[in-house]
Amino acid sequence: MRSRRSISDIVAVVLLIVIAIAAAVIIYMWLSGLIGSVHTSTSSMQVKLEITGGNVTTTGGGQYTVYAALYNPPDSPSTSITLGEVEFANGTLMCSQSISTSSTIPPGGSAIFNFTCTGPKNVPVGTPVEIVLVTSQGTQVTYSTSIVSASS
């Protein structure tokens, strides 16, 4: 009888260890899910700024004036523009302008954004380009257009 009793003691200890490990795994999975849901809720506050229209004009000589109409949807946080770029359609940088003072665009708000930059002198009118704007949160927004002459 003594030997059976000691086997049941060993089985009881093993069962307690298995239950403790299972409880630890369940708690870890629950906390991982909780942390994951917090991360998902903050990512829903990402900037969703849109460029609704824009153009790039040139008078020749490598001077380019960029015009962009912006819309910040209601479910997007307030933002401002910190950098404006013009890129060729293949992604090569043509010119850029750092923006030190820019007005904040509130959720549901619109704004007109202009900047001038200097780039290559021999880019023909009609060349496809992309307007790239970088927000204060680091989000890049692009708009495809082509270069037009300022005299047209």
Q: For 82-136, how does the pLDDT look when each residue is reduced to its tens digit (9 = 90+)? A: 899 999 989 899 999 888 766 788 989 998 988 999 988 888 889 999 999 988 8
With residue 34 as reference, give the H or E element that holds it: helix 2-43
Residues 40 and 54 in one domain: no
Of 46, 47, 45, which is closest to residue 105 (Cα–Cα)? 47
> Do 128 and 144 touch, CB atoms closer than 8 A?
yes
Which residues form the domain of 97? Answer: 50-149
Cα Dmax for the chain: 107
Q: How high is the pLDDT of residue 103?
A: 79
What are the structure tokens assigned to 30, written together? 């629950």
Q: How high is the pLDDT of residue 18?
A: 95
Q: What is the mean pLDDT of the chain?
A: 84
Is it the case that residue 40 has pLDDT exceeding 80? no
Mean pLDDT within 63-76: 90
CATH of the domain at 112: 2.60.40.10
Residues 102 and 74 in one domain: yes
What are the structure tokens assigned to 92, written together? 């090569």
Mean pLDDT within 73-84: 88
Is it the case that residue 35 has pLDDT exceeding 70? no
Reported pTM: 0.68
Per the structure, how many domains does the chain have? 2
Residues 31 and 58 in one domain: no
- Round to whole Å and give the CA distance between 49 and 52: 9
With residue 139 as reference, give the H or E element that holds it: none
Q: How high is the pLDDT of residue 42?
A: 40
Burial, 55: exposed, middle or buried (Cβ in 10 Å; 0-12, 13-18, 19+)? middle
Residues 69 and 95 in one domain: yes
